[in-house]
Amino acid sequence: MINNISGQALLQNLKDAGCSPGQVQRFLSLETEGNTKEQLKLLAEHRKHLLERVHREEKRIDCLDYLVYQIKKNNVKR
């Protein structure tokens, strides 16, 4: 296993990171093959996907914050 990480800890980490069962299986297959390069590629792709989701949600939060700001600003004038 990777740097003395137990199999159970590795599985839990992949699940906690939001990896799908297919991604976990692919990662473990690559581990068996000793293909670290492809493992890193798989993790980088998943990270990119998660970061894109974070940015989408941040934009939504910004929209809500703007709406709250506008409402409060208008209520102060009343």
User: pLDDT category, 4, cuts 50, 70, 90?
Assistant: confident
Angle at 30 between CA 28 and CA 33, to 5 degrees: 115
User: pLDDT category, 77, cuts 50, 70, 90?
Assistant: low
> How far is residue 18's CA from residue 48's CA, in Å, rounded to a whole number?
12
H or E element, residue 8: helix 7-16
Statement: residue 1 has pLDDT above 70: no
Task: Look at residue 23 in the predicted model and tell me its pLDDT.
Answer: 98
Structural domain of residue 52, as residue ranges?
A: 2-77
Q: What is the pLDDT of residues 17-75, one digit of tens each?
A: 999 999 999 999 999 999 999 999 999 999 999 999 999 999 999 999 999 999 999 88
Domain count, the chain: 1
4's tokens: 């003395």
